[in-house]
Amino acid sequence: MKKMTQEDILNIYKKSGALLEGHFDLSSGLHSSVYLQSAMVLQYPEHASMLCKELAEVFKGRKIEVVIAPALGGIIVAYEVARHLNVRAIFAEREKGELTLRRGFNIKEGERTLVVEDVITTGISVKETIEVVEKNKGMLVGVGSLIDRSGGKAEMGHPYHSLVVLNEPVYKPEECPLCRKGQKITKPGSRGL
């Protein structure tokens, strides 16, 4: 199979309405002219499978035994990557504000673990997921994402691969040039824009 390029992947995002342009207040609290909603792409099993296969290929041969993602955004990515690697998929979710394993999910001591996420902006949820792996004494093999919108600046402290590295800047609200121009802002969220 021909490897997908960044452009191929972004085209799928655009066609699915998962990449919007304007002025957005992201869940991280930062502002940007680009908003990505992977759920719009991942609602199509065909796209989910194709993208996650690409990500799975990167970590093939690394003897991954379990794939974990932070809920909610990463769950489908973890599941599809795990399906291609033929291993378990689990997710960490918040309990009293802290990411943890629930529902009987576990990571065995020394189990070779891959952390995945749909979009990495600041990398905070991924770092918290890494902490969950470490707390459970899993062996973290690497981190993967469909899109890294930190421009490659997100530092994971572990081998990290993203299918797409996006250089669209994100701004602190007080430094946002779009705010300065008085451009109307949208807060995308569960109400679906």
Q: Which is nearer to Zn ion, 50 or 179 (CB)?
A: 179
Q: How far apart are CA 189 and CA 171, in angstroms?
A: 18
Residue with tokens 């602190």: 172
The least distance separating Zn ion from the CB of residue 178, rounded to whole angstroms, comes to 4
The least distance separating Zn ion from the CB of residue 155, rounded to whole angstroms, comes to 25
Q: Which is nearer to Zn ion, 29 or 151 (CB)?
A: 29
Q: Which is nearer to Zn ion, 31 or 127 (CB)?
A: 31
Question: Residue 108 is encoded by which pair of tokens?
Answer: 């065995």
Determine the residue with CB nearest Zn ion. Answer: 176
Q: Are strands 88-95 and 19-25 parallel, antiparallel or unpaired?
A: unpaired
Q: Which is nearer to Zn ion, 76 or 166 (CB)?
A: 166
The least distance separating Zn ion from the CB of residue 145, rounded to whole angstroms, comes to 24
Point out which residues bind Zn ion (CB under 5 A): 31, 176, 178-179
Q: How far apart are CA 128 and CA 97, in angstroms?
A: 11
The least distance separating Zn ion from the CB of residue 177, rounded to whole angstroms, comes to 8
Q: How far apart are CA 24 and CA 188, in angstroms?
A: 7
Beta strands in 72-165 (DSSP E): 88-95, 98-101, 112-120, 139-148, 160-165
